[in-house]
Structure 1
Amino acid sequence: MSQQVLTATIPHEALGDRLDVAISPLFSDYSRNRIQQWIKDGNLKVDGEVWKKPRQAVLGGENVELLVEIENTTEIPAQEIELDIVYEDDSIMVINKPPGLVVHPGAGNPDRTLMNALLFYNPALREVPRAGIVHRLDKDTSGLMVVAKNVPAQTSLVSQLQRHAVERIYDAVVVGKMARGGTIDKAIGRSPGDRKKMAVRAMGGKEAVSHYRVLEHFREHTRIRVKLETGRTHQIRVHMAYLGFPLVGDPVYGSRFRIPKKMQEEFVQFLRGFHRQALHAGALSLTHPATGKTMKWKAPMPDDLFELVDVLREDMQDYENAQLGYDDFDYDYGVEVEWVTDEDIPD
């Protein structure tokens, strides 16, 4: 943990403002939430006295000293791991994370994570909290993530995430025949029965909103697209399971495999061997921290998800041909599914 004492004077026009509101503009490199926590931790002195209440009113003209504490990554080794960098400039990087890569070191995954890879690729990220990582994807979820390359960029991105101003759109395949799209607005919190899992909670959960639409129907599965309004842990996995349509391959929130009748054995074996949740963060949009411009990126589904969709398409066509007596009919199953526009996703 690196520490630094910053000083400033509260302007007289801040008379009557809350303490956290008054000093946040004075230390604009850091988010208001972080400043609030430092105040509660006793890191702020006002005219030489420690103030611990963010809501306390100020008079204006007070001299403040803020002890800034930044988590460093000196003990985390830099490791050469290939990164799929979609975009990079002086402020941010956008990474297309493969399935199987853990984001942060932790219990059971002490290294070989995205953080280790980032520190090898750019050693200067040791000066940025959490090596610039501002949000996460589960180990077995693939897709786009943004990384901040400096503290001001990180503060901007964290603020955008907190204001739900970062657009994230996911492709998924769920178990079951979903009739139509919609919106699920159900709070999510720790499962009372298993603290390692999340669950929809009527009491004690945090707001969680997911908008979803149906892209493609199969015999016993559905391909969907989900737009997150919030970003809770395991949000899409929990919400889809709550609706009765768990993600294919989800080892935590999934159900037993639903194998369509008369499915070819090779297709059956593929489904049984699909051991990760069928979820991909395919689109990301945000306001650039330095330029203020809106930027958007898209990443195609990885090969394993393409293969899953192809298997389900071929199975459906096989079944339909059999019903029509076309068992020996040579049919081209190739179908391209285009991205929907942002306007097609409900606000």
Structure 2
Amino acid sequence: MPREAAGARLDRWLAGAIGATAERTRWLVETGRVRIRGKTCSPHRKLFGGEEVAVERPAPRAAEASGPALAVLYDDADCLVVAKPPGLAVEASAPGGASAVAAASRLGSFDVDGRAVPGLPHRLDRDTSGALLLARHDRALAALRAAFEAGAVEKEYLALVGGAPPREGRLDTPYGRDPADPRRFTTRFPSARRARLSWTVERALRGAALLRVRLETGRTHQIRVQLAEAGFPVLGDAAYGVRADAIARQALHAARLAFPRPSDGAPVEVRAPLPEDLERAIAALAG
């Protein structure tokens, strides 16, 4: 360890050094898998700086892989991007249930928090299709989460909305849970928390438009809520938008991700092709 670590607590320093959660790091120390000068120690041990810390990381616990085969859009030793189909939850709601995480567990090796499953630096709604970024190990997960927090990840979506939005637009609004229904979110009350996005019209359609939406913040349900409350609801969105004959789910697709590669910060850009149901909906509304 560097001499600058002098005075730091072992578990806190180690969590940053190996990119693991605080809970995982404490477990490694408490179970004797971390040694200094060959001896086990307490998670609260103060470091002198310059010591050699040996860490034994057990093989990750196997996890059940289930769900559909996922198309891989990008893959390296740190992370991968898969094309999540609509209707597939990112995480299972019950043990053993199908999910993107469980399905992706078949795609190479993973070691996140001691389990052989991908780590999630971000999420997509069940009915949103498109690019989902996954981490292969703890250090990559920490780096990707930090990139999202720092605004270093670019996220673009394609949204099929009702109405006739202007060719370009931007929204910067308060954002939070709806006081009348905590399962929903809204922009329509004072809040220090902000939500920001911008859009351009990709294609004007019959009573609708295909928007390319650039997220500046990543709030839960943000695109669906902000566009609906601005008068341009996402088609097929039963919660915030309007039902549509053209598509049976919310017409929202994570089309592009650009992020710094965890290993060296090199830029990575990934695009996800449109799924068939969204292509059919656009064609139906263009006629």
TM-score by length of 1: 0.66
SS at structure 1 position matched to 2:194: coil
Instruction: Provide the C-alpha distance between the structure 2 equivalents of 1:158 and 1:222, rounded to a whole number of angstroms.
Output: 33
Tell me, which stretches of 5 or more residues in structure 2 are unaligned?
27-41, 51-58
Matching of residues 1-347 of structure 1 within 5 Å: 11=5, 27-30=16-19, 45=44, 47=46, 77-79=64-66, 81-106=68-93, 111-122=97-108, 124-125=110-111, 127=114, 131-200=118-187, 202-204=189-191, 206-255=193-242, 257=243, 271-272=244-245, 274-314=247-287
Instruction: Provide the C-alpha distance between the structure 1 equivalents of 2:108 and 2:183, rounded to a whole number of angstroms.
Output: 33
Q: Do the aligned residues in 1 keep the contact of 2:246 with 2:281 (CA within 8 Å)?
A: no
Which string of whole-angstrom CA distances, capped at 9 and with x for unpartnered residues, describes residues 129-153 of structure 1? Answer: 9622211111111111111111111
SS at structure 1 position matched to 2:105: helix
Instruction: Provide the C-alpha distance between the structure 1 equivalents of 2:122 and 2:169, rounded to a whole number of angstroms.
Output: 25
Q: Do the aligned residues in 1 keep the contact of 2:109 with 2:116 (CA within 8 Å)?
A: no
SS at structure 2 position matched to 1:120: coil
For 2:74, the aligned partner's letter is: Y
SS at structure 2 position matched to 1:305: helix
Instruction: Provide the C-alpha distance between the structure 2 equivalents of 1:131 and 1:246, rounded to a whole number of angstroms.
Output: 33
TM superposition shift of 1:187: 3.1
The structure in which a higher percent of residues are strand is 2
Q: Do the aligned residues in 2 keep the contact of 1:29 with 1:155 (CA within 8 Å)?
A: no
TM superposition shift of 1:272: 2.2
TM superposition shift of 1:80: 5.3
TM superposition shift of 1:308: 1.0
Q: Which one has more relative contact order, counting CA pairs under 8 Å at least 6 apart?
A: 2
TM superposition shift of 1:179: 2.3
SS at structure 2 position matched to 1:196: strand
Q: Do the aligned residues in 1 keep the contact of 2:170 with 2:198 (CA within 8 Å)?
A: yes
Instruction: Provide the C-alpha distance between the structure 2 equivalents of 1:208 and 1:25, rounded to a whole number of angstroms.
Output: 34
SS at structure 1 position matched to 2:234: coil
Which string of whole-angstrom CA distances, capped at 9 and with x for unpartnered residues, describes residues 67-90 of structure 1? Answer: xxxxx9959522253011112111
For 1:295, the aligned partner's letter is: V
For 1:178, the aligned partner's letter is: P
Instruction: Provide the C-alpha distance between the structure 1 equivalents of 2:197 and 2:13, rounded to a whole number of angstroms.
Output: 31
Instruction: Provide the C-alpha distance between the structure 2 equivalents of 1:283 and 1:231, rounded to a whole number of angstroms.
Output: 14
TM superposition shift of 1:312: 1.1
SS at structure 2 position matched to 1:165: coil
The equivalent residue for 2:56 is: none
Aligned residues: 263
The structure in which a higher percent of residues are helix is 1
- Seen in structure 2, the aligned counterparts of structure 1 residues 158 and 111 have a Cα distance that, compared at 3 Å, is same
Instruction: Provide the C-alpha distance between the structure 2 equivalents of 1:291 and 1:233, rounded to a whole number of angstroms.
Output: 29
- Seen in structure 2, the aligned counterparts of structure 1 residues 186 and 76 have a Cα distance that, compared at 3 Å, is farther
For 2:198, the aligned partner's letter is: H
SS at structure 1 position matched to 2:118: helix
Larger radius of gyration: 1
Tell me, which stretches of 5 or more residues in structure 1 are unaligned?
1-6, 48-59, 64-71, 258-270, 315-347
- Seen in structure 2, the aligned counterparts of structure 1 residues 287 and 25 have a Cα distance that, compared at 3 Å, is farther
TM superposition shift of 1:291: 2.8
TM-score by length of 2: 0.78
Q: Do the aligned residues in 2 keep the contact of 1:10 with 1:61 (CA within 8 Å)?
A: no
